[in-house]
């Protein structure tokens, strides 16, 4: 690790990469111009959309065949924005064919002159013919997807997960993934392949969201209704992404319907929802608005006879404009809020005084907000796709009474990003610039004392990256380099990345690796599962005290390695295997202490996580099945001299509380006509927790005097940190939904669902101070209805 | 549905819903009590705080502990049973402090035992020998000016060494004629002591201390150069303690001491009971010595 870091940050390396970067940034254009071999070639580009609602179609194939003898052909596929760009086309007359799974193909003829760059936007409609579906499906299957550590999630997959609500949510789907660990069905925290929640970058249309998952684990700021797709990188993400150590969740939302008004309203004991979308005066402009409000306290809580003191909601809006033939503009805004207590009031009253004084279980509140604009263009003068985005987003979290919170933390981030992609047959070049400017403030009331001296800090990142994609037939290489200027030091960080795949027949092998840095850190007290308060700040500075670890002030970093294999066992069944390793350096964790309070200092730590995942997925007519198993092994190592006195070693090596070793998910879904039923069973082995030897008092004898005068406090005598294991978790959730047509455009859906169908007592956390346990949701039935206007 | 299938499904549900849901987070220990206190041969009453080690964090009731607290002087075998008392700690909780008027003698070892039905927690505490402080001639021929103070016996350890200076100074803007303020300013001498034949020596550095105190006044904007800094007297304080009173790293850091086992001499329990006494010596150096060390001559005040 040290060697790698030193190598990429050495002066020679900086000069080398600094000289190479401009070449790589502008080399794509040169490559295109050289392809003509003396004859100027043509370029064809445009957008492919769904004719029924104007949505961009991802993965549509565009094929050009020279007329009249088909002596030359060129092809390409649309990206996530429905953009295609084919260059190096010899002048002449061509047949153009645009096809997509389940859609009627578009056929046209066109003539391309020497040096011409032509834009042709195509709208295609859904097909009624099953035969054509099969044909285009074969064409679609030729596309190669580099997949190490990455998964693209579509709303259809999200809707398959049974939830107690009529509509799906990305959060429910993420918890099915074998590498994603949640501490419970509440808390709003996701741990991805050994990484902590604050190490996950979450983007919504380019806006940075710091805590987008709601208090109840089924829900997030991403209802399935607004999602176009989500890319989840559990590790090994490319040079386009950075500023986080562990993973990326990049969510792109739909544009609103550009053809006609549509909407949906739904209600259940868990959530109420309203969505409206439609054209704004012209088919070139659409709007989409969505709002949700939890109903738990008055809906679900009476059903199960337990307190569910959670309130949350979210609102989203987007305007999408087709500016002209070559460019699109969208403006998105989001706002979420959460408030609740993870421990019911009735239990707080029974707690010892010092536990209440420590106030780890007071009301927690947080909110996210963001507004962003994105301009996407395929210029008529250059064979390039440009993507410019500007966003402002923020997050605030508080713990304690609303009028006088005991802790609070805020962060506000302005982000500017410009990406340019030069597509090509053999070489596709992508490069970009990103500026991120954050302002962080906190009032921690003693938490992490002697670490935070500044209540207000700023954190600026300037980033340039280049990421060519080399197509060598069966092999695709995607090396990347990210040049990061962070505020913590003048010298830039260089973060090399590499993604690659090799595909032959039914087999595909993929791999990814990279070096990652994170300067903004989210600090939580992981000794307590119910403590979900996270303070965002810059990396702690060295206090100057001799007992400080010299690593204080170092920027946390990680090295990832991912290796995957995927095989099509049958035409409908796919098996995927993936292994990963993450090494984490210079993390900051709460210092281990025997004081029974939650005001503690920080200490640096290292960590590593490795694991393997298996997925078996199949679809047979109306049936869909998924089985995912994940093994994970995470270990933290912190050095702390004083713990040697009790544990006999300075090396505090422990399993963090999110180190679930085994996870198994089984999902079954059937959809026939208007009937849709799903069942999900999940098993997860127990999480580590710290056991207790006992409780006593502590009155430090530091001077000659009467023992009556020594200040005394309670003390908790811990066994070795996180040496206990909670019971395993397993749960069955089922749902069934029937839709009824109430006319040509109106549809009523009724859903019945049961969470925890066999009433398993799954533990949320155990308060080791009082030996009281708090369980997750019991057997919880619900019924919901939705009215949809197509 | 067939009865056999129904039975099977019900069995599966019962097994799945019931298995392995209990948690026992308490490892437990045979250690019974944690003791904290100091045996003081110069005090008329001895106090030791007693915390029972419990398996649950509950407020301590204001009831008597059902234990016997006994001290035994090992050399002569004399035993004394101590009395229970309750105090309120800063956060309002009760704590048990056992006390006795039994005299504690120098150079004896005492065994303290807390006995309950389940066992005994004990600690053996040797009491250091008596010692005194003796001033030696200042070394004032050249800077720095040092006053050696001797501890007259080879006692095991010295802790909490400090020199307190009773000084006069003035604010920069004060006018002559007003009473200049006085203050007691302290300088730590922890770690400055050295062992010599038959005792210890504490070298009190008058020159260095003058510079330290002057800088404090300057930083606090209390330095008046026309007044300077006048010393009226000085006091050396230290504590003589037994050998076991030795914190990790030589520093009394609560975050270190709180770890169970840190500086603990209690068997079948946690905590620390030490023994010791305080020594102090007050004197005023001669004007010549003070002036050589940089201090202001009292006659030059204004």
User: What is the DSSP code (8-state) at residue A760?
Assistant: -
**Beta carbons of B49 and A712 less than 8 Å apart:** yes
To the nearest 10°, the Cα dihedral for B212, B215, B217, B221? -170
Structure tokens belonging to residue A132 = 């054509």
Question: In the predicted model, is pLDDT for residue A182 greater than 90?
Answer: no
Q: Which of A119, A140, A161 is the last residue of a domain?
A: A140
**Could you tell me if residue A705 is inside a domain?**
yes
Q: What is the pLDDT of residue A734?
A: 95
**Could you tell me if residue A28 is inside a domain?**
no
Question: In the predicted model, is pLDDT for residue A448 greater than 80?
Answer: no
Contacts of A764 (CB under 8 A, 6+ apart): A183, A184, A185, A186, A342, A529, A530, A773, A774, A775, A776
- Residues in chain B within 8 Å Cβ distance of A704: 38, 40, 160, 239, 241, 274, 276-278
**Could you tell me if residue A44 is inside a domain?**
yes
Structure tokens belonging to residue B211 = 């510079």
- Nearest 5°: the CA angle A668, A669, A673 is 160
User: Is the Cβ of B95 closer than 8 Å to some Cβ of chain A?
Assistant: yes
**Could you tell me if residue A12 is inside a domain?**
no
A189 and A197 in contact (C-beta within 8 Å)? yes
| Helix axes A11-34 and A2-9, enclosed angle (nearest 10) | 70
Our CA-based measurement puts residue B292 at a distance from the nearest CA of chain A, in whole angstroms, of 34
A120 with A161, same domain?
no
Q: For A79-93, A127-141, A230-244, A485-499, which range has the lowest pLDDT when averaged over its residues?
A: A127-141
User: What is the DSSP code (8-state) at residue B220?
Assistant: T
A668 with A726, same domain?
yes
- The top-level CATH class assigned to B33-127 is mainly beta
pLDDT band for position B2 (cuts 50, 70, 90) = low
A487 with A415, same domain?
yes
**Beta carbons of B278 and A707 less than 8 Å apart:** no
Reduced to 3 states (helix: H, G, I; strand: E, B; else coil), residue B77 is coil
For CA atoms A541, A544, A547, A550, give the dihedral sign. positive
**Beta carbons of B38 and A704 less than 8 Å apart:** yes
User: What is the DSSP code (8-state) at residue A43?
Assistant: E
User: What is the DSSP code (8-state) at residue A213?
Assistant: B
pLDDT band for position A344 (cuts 50, 70, 90) = low
Residue to substitute from B87, B259, B263, interface A, most A β-carbons within 10 A:
B259
Q: What is the pLDDT of residue B94?
A: 86
The better pLDDT of the pair A477, B7 is held by: A477
A128 with A183, same domain?
no
**Could you tell me if residue A53 is inside a domain?**
yes
Of A171, A64, A45, the residue nearest A107 (C-alpha): A64
For residues A151 and A231, give the distance between their C-alpha atoms in angstroms, rounded to a whole number: 6
Q: What is the pLDDT of residue A34?
A: 40
- Residues in chain B within 8 Å Cβ distance of A696: 33-34, 51-54, 270-271
- Give phi and psi for A709, each to the nearest 5: -95, -10
- Residues in chain A within 8 Å Cβ distance of B247: 702
For residues A129 and A102, give the distance between their C-alpha atoms in angstroms, rounded to a whole number: 8
In this structure, the strands spanning A763-767 and A227-233 are unpaired
For CA atoms A515, A520, A525, A531, give the dihedral sign. negative
If contacts are CB pairs under 8 Å, which of residues 13-32 in chain B contact chain A? 13, 16-17, 20-23, 25-29, 31
For residue A215, give its domain range. 150-789
**Beta carbons of B49 and A595 less than 8 Å apart:** no
**Could you tell me if residue A156 is inside a domain?**
yes
Q: What is the pLDDT of residue A309?
A: 86
Mean pLDDT of B205-216: 93
Residue of A nearest to B22 (CA): A727
Q: What is the pLDDT of residue A470?
A: 94
For CA atoms A18, A20, A26, A28, give the dihedral sign. negative
Mean pLDDT of B243-270: 87
Q: What is the pLDDT of residue A767?
A: 73
**Beta carbons of B38 and A766 less than 8 Å apart:** no
Mean pLDDT of A487-494: 71
For residues B301 and B292, give the distance between their C-alpha atoms in angstroms, rounded to a whole number: 17
In this structure, the strands spanning A207-209 and A200-204 are antiparallel
For residues A480 and A523, give the distance between their C-alpha atoms in angstroms, rounded to a whole number: 30
pTM, two decimals, is 0.83
Query: Is the preceding peptide bond at B57 cis, omega within 30 degrees of 0?
Result: no
For residues A42 and A36, give the distance between their C-alpha atoms in angstroms, rounded to a whole number: 9
What are the beta bridge partners of residue A311? A339
If contacts are CB pairs under 8 Å, which of residues 62-81 in chain B contact chain A? none
Of A342, A309, A304, the residue nearest A754 (C-alpha): A304
For residues A714 and A697, give the distance between their C-alpha atoms in angstroms, rounded to a whole number: 4
A222 with A352, same domain?
yes
User: Is the Cβ of A689 closer than 8 Å to some Cβ of chain B?
Assistant: yes
Contacts of B218 (CB under 8 A, 6+ apart): none
For residues A232 and A155, give the distance between their C-alpha atoms in angstroms, rounded to a whole number: 13
Structure tokens belonging to residue A763 = 């533990």
The model's pLDDT over A618-645, given as tens digits with 9 standing for 90+, comes to 998 899 999 999 999 999 998 776 666 6
Q: What is the CATH number of the domain that holds A584?
A: 2.40.170.20
Q: What is the CATH number of the domain that holds A68?
A: 2.60.40.10
Q: For A246-260, A421-435, B198-212, B264-278, which range has the lowest pLDDT when averaged over its residues?
A: A421-435
A548 with A463, same domain?
yes
**Could you tell me if residue A556 is inside a domain?**
yes
Distances A347 to A111, A322, A356, A361, B59 between C-alpha atoms, Å: 76, 56, 11, 10, 16
Full 3-state SS string of A303-372:
HHCCCCCEEEEEEEEEEEEEEECCEEEEEEEEEEEEEECCCCHHHHCCCCHHHHHHCCCCCEEEEEEEEE
- Give phi and psi for A40, each to the nearest 5: -70, 130
If contacts are CB pairs under 8 Å, which of residues 244-263 in chain B contact chain A? 245, 247-249, 252-263
User: Is the Cβ of A545 closer than 8 Å to some Cβ of chain B?
Assistant: no
User: Is the Cβ of A771 closer than 8 Å to some Cβ of chain B?
Assistant: yes
Q: What is the pLDDT of residue A146?
A: 43
Domain range summary for chain B, segments of one domain joined by +: 33-127, 133-241+279-300
Q: For A566-580, B80-94, B172-186, which range has the lowest pLDDT when averaged over its residues?
A: B172-186
What are the beta bridge partners of residue B252? none
A622 with A710, same domain?
yes
Residue linked to tokens 């070892």: B109
Q: What is the pLDDT of residue A291?
A: 97
Question: In the predicted model, is pLDDT for residue A5 greater than 80?
Answer: no
If contacts are CB pairs under 8 Å, which of residues 51-80 in chain A contact chain B? none
Question: In the predicted model, is pLDDT for residue B201 greater than 80?
Answer: yes
**Beta carbons of B55 and A694 less than 8 Å apart:** yes
Mean pLDDT of B100-120: 94
Of A608, A598, A589, the residue nearest A540 (C-alpha): A589
Q: For A178-182, A342-346, A604-608, B90-94, which range has the lowest pLDDT when averaged over its residues?
A: A342-346
For residues A504 and A417, give the distance between their C-alpha atoms in angstroms, rounded to a whole number: 36
The model's pLDDT over A693-704, given as tens digits with 9 standing for 90+, comes to 888 889 999 999
Full 3-state SS string of A623-640:
EEEEEEEEEEEEEEEEEC
Our CA-based measurement puts residue A451 at a distance from the nearest CA of chain B, in whole angstroms, of 15
Structural domain count of chain A: 2
User: What is the DSSP code (8-state) at residue A105?
Assistant: P
Percent of chain B with pLDDT over 90: 61
- Give phi and psi for A10, each to the nearest 5: -70, 155
Q: Which of A105, A140, A175 is the last residue of a domain?
A: A140
A310 and A297 in contact (C-beta within 8 Å)? yes
A382 with A512, same domain?
yes
**Beta carbons of B23 and A773 less than 8 Å apart:** yes
Structure tokens belonging to residue A519 = 């300067």
Question: In the predicted model, is pLDDT for residue A655 greater than 80?
Answer: yes
The model's pLDDT over A14-50, given as tens digits with 9 standing for 90+, comes to 544 554 555 454 444 444 444 445 568 889 999 999 9
A606 and A637 in contact (C-beta within 8 Å)? yes
The model's pLDDT over A454-471, given as tens digits with 9 standing for 90+, comes to 677 888 889 999 999 999
Q: What is the pLDDT of residue A16?
A: 45
User: Is the Cβ of A597 closer than 8 Å to some Cβ of chain B?
Assistant: no
**Beta carbons of A645 and B248 less than 8 Å apart:** yes
A590 with A733, same domain?
yes
For residues A52 and A514, give the distance between their C-alpha atoms in angstroms, rounded to a whole number: 42
**Beta carbons of A771 and B26 less than 8 Å apart:** yes
Residue linked to tokens 């981030």: A413
**Beta carbons of B23 and A766 less than 8 Å apart:** yes
Query: Is the preceding peptide bond at B144 cis, omega within 30 degrees of 0?
Result: yes
- From start to end of A102-260, where are the E strands? 106-112, 117-119, 122-124, 150-153, 180-182, 190-192, 200-204, 207-209, 227-233, 247-253
pLDDT band for position A659 (cuts 50, 70, 90) = very high
A258 with A279, same domain?
yes
A566 with A637, same domain?
yes
Residue linked to tokens 């070489």: A427
For residues B82 and B112, give the distance between their C-alpha atoms in angstroms, rounded to a whole number: 10
Q: Which of A99, A117, A140 is the last residue of a domain?
A: A140
The better pLDDT of the pair A92, A358 is held by: A92
A544 with A588, same domain?
yes
pLDDT band for position B221 (cuts 50, 70, 90) = confident
Structure tokens belonging to residue B170 = 């003035």
pLDDT band for position A366 (cuts 50, 70, 90) = very high
Structure tokens belonging to residue B215 = 């800088």
In this complex, the residue of A547, A695, A701 whose CB is nearest that of residue B38 is A701
For residues A159 and A157, give the distance between their C-alpha atoms in angstroms, rounded to a whole number: 5
Full 3-state SS string of A220-262:
ECCEHHHEEEEEEECCCCCCCCCCCCCEEEEEEECCCCCCCCE
Mean pLDDT of A765-770: 72
**Could you tell me if residue A643 is inside a domain?**
yes
What are the beta bridge partners of residue A638? A605, A652
pLDDT band for position A526 (cuts 50, 70, 90) = low
Mean pLDDT of B128-143: 91
């Amino acid at each position: 690790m040290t060697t790698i870091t030193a190598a990429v940050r050495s002066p020679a390396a900086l000069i080398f990469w600094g000289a190479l970067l401009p070449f790589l940034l502008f080399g794509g254009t040169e490559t295109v111009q050289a392809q003509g071999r003396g004859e100027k070639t043509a370029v064809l580009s445009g957008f492919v959309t769904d004719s029924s609602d104007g949505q961009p179609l991802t993965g549509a194939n565009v094929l050009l065949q020279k007329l009249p003898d088909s002596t030359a052909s060129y092809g390409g596929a649309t990206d996530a924005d429905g953009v295609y760009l084919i260059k190096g086309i010899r002048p002449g007359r061509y047949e153009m064919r645009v096809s997509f799974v389940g859609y009627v193909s578009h056929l046209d003829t066109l003539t391309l002159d020497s040096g011409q760059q032509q834009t042709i936007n195509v709208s295609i409609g859904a097909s009624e013919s099953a035969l054509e579906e099969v044909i285009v499906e074969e064409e679609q299957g030729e596309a190669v997807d580099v997949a190490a550590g990455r998964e693209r999630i579509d709303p259809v997959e999200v809707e398959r997960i049974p939830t107690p609500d009529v509509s799906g949510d990305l959060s429910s789907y993420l918890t099915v993934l074998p590498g994603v660990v949640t501490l419970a069905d509440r808390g709003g925290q996701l741990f991805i392949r050994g990484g902590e929640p604050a190490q996950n970058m979450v983007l919504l249309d380019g806006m940075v969201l710091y805590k987008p998952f709601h208090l109840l684990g089924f829900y997030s700021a991403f209802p399935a209704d607004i999602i176009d797709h989500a890319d989840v990188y559990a590790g090994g993400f490319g040079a386009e992404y950075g500023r986080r150590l562990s993973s990326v969740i990049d969510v792109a939302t739909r544009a609103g319907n550009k053809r006609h008004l549509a909407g949906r309203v739904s209600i259940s004991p868990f959530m109420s929802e309203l969505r409206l979308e439609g054209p704004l005066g012209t088919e070139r402009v659409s709007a989409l608005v969505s709002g949700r409000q939890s109903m738990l306290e008055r809906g679900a809580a009476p059903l199960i006879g337990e307190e569910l003191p959670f309130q949350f909601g979210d609102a989203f809006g987007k305007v999408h404009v087709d500016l002209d033939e070559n460019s699109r503009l969208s403006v998105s805004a989001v706002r979420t809020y959460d408030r609740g207590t993870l421990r019911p009031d009735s239990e707080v009253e029974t707690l010892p005084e010092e536990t209440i004084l420590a106030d780890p279980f007071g009301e927690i509140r947080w909110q996210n907000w963001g507004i962003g604009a994105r301009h996407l263009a395929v210029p008529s003068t250059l064979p390039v796709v440009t993507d410019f985005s500007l966003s402002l987003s923020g997050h605030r979290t508080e713990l304690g009474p609303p009028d006088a919170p005991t802790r609070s933390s805020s962060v506000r981030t302005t982000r500017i990003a410009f990406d340019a992609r030069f597509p090509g047959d053999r070489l596709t070049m992508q490069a970009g610039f990103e500026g991120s400017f954050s302002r962080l403030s906190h009032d921690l009331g003693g938490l992490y004392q002697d670490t935070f001296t500044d209540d207000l800090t700023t954190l600026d990142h300037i980033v340039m990256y280049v990421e060519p994609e080399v197509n060598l037939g069966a092999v695709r290489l995607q090396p990347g380099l990210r040049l990061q200027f962070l505020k913590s030091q003048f010298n830039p960080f260089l973060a090399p990345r590499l993604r690659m795949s090799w595909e032959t027949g039914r087999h595909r092998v993929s791999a990814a690796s990279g070096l990652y840095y994170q300067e903004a850190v989210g600090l939580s007290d992981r000794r307590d599962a119910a403590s979900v308060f996270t303070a965002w700040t810059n990396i702690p500075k060295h206090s100057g005290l001799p007992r400080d670890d010299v690593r204080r002030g170092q920027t946390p970093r990680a090295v990832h390695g991912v290796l995957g294999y995927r095989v099509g066992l049958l035409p409908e069944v796919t098996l995927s295997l993936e292994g990963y390793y993450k090494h984490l350096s210079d993390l900051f964790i709460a210092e281990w202490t025997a004081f029974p309070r939650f005001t503690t200092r920080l200490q640096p730590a290292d960590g590593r996580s490795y694991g393997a995942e298996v997925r078996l997925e199949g679809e047979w007519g109306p049936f869909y099945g998924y089985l995912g198993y994940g093994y994970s092994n995470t270990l933290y190592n912190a050095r702390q001299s004083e713990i040697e006195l009790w544990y006999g070693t300075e090396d505090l090596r422990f399993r963090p509380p999110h180190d679930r070793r085994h996870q198994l998910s089984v999902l079954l879904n059937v959809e026939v006509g208007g009937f849709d039923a799903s069942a999900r069973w999940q098993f997860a082995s127990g999480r580590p927790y710290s056991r207790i030897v006992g409780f006593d008092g502590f009155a430090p004898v530091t001077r000659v005097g009467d023992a009556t005068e020594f200040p005394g406090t309670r003390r908790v005598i811990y066994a070795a940190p996180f040496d206990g294991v909670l019971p395993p978790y397993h749960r069955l959730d089922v749902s069934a939904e029937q839709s009824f047509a109430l006319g040509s455009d109106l549809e009523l859906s009724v859903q019945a669902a049961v969470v925890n169908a066999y009433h398993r007592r799954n533990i949320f956390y155990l308060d080791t101070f009082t030996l009281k346990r708090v369980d997750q949701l019991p057997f919880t039935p619900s019924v919901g209805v939705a009215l949809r206007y197509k | 549905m067939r009865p056999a299938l129904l039975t099977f499904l019900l069995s599966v549900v019962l097994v799945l819903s019931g298995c392995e849901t209990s948690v026992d987070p308490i490892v437990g220990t045979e250690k019974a009590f944690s003791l904290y206190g100091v045996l003081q041969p110069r005090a008329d009453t001895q106090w030791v705080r007693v915390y029972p080690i419990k398996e649950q964090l509950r407020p301590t009731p204001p009831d008597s502990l059902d234990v016997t607290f006994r001290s035994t002087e090992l050399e002569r075998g004399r035993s004394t049973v101590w009395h229970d008392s309750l105090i309120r700690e800063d956060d309002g909780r009760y704590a048990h402090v056992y006390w006795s008027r039994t005299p504690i003698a120098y150079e004896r070892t005492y065994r303290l035992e807390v006995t309950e039905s389940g066992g005994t927690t004990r600690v053996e505490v040797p009491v250091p020998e008596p010692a005194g402080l003796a001033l030696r001639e200042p070394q004032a021929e050249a800077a720095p000016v040092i006053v050696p103070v001797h501890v007259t016996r080879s006692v095991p350890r010295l802790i909490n060494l400090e020199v307190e200076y009773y000084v006069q100074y003035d604010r920069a803007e004060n006018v002559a004629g007003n009473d200049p303020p006085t203050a007691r300013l302290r300088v730590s001498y922890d770690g400055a002591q050295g062992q010599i034949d038959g005792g210890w020596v504490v070298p009190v550095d008058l020159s260095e201390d003058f510079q330290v105190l002057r800088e404090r006044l300057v930083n606090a904007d209390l330095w008046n150069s026309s007044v300077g800094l006048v010393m009226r007297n000085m006091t050396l304080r230290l504590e003589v303690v037994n050998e076991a009173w030795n914190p990790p790293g030589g520093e009394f850091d609560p975050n270190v001491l709180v770890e169970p086992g840190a500086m603990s001499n209690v068997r079948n329990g946690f905590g620390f009971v030490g023994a010791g006494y305080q020594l102090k010596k007050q004197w005023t150096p001669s004007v010549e010595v003070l002036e050589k060390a940089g201090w202001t001559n009292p006659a030059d005040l204004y």
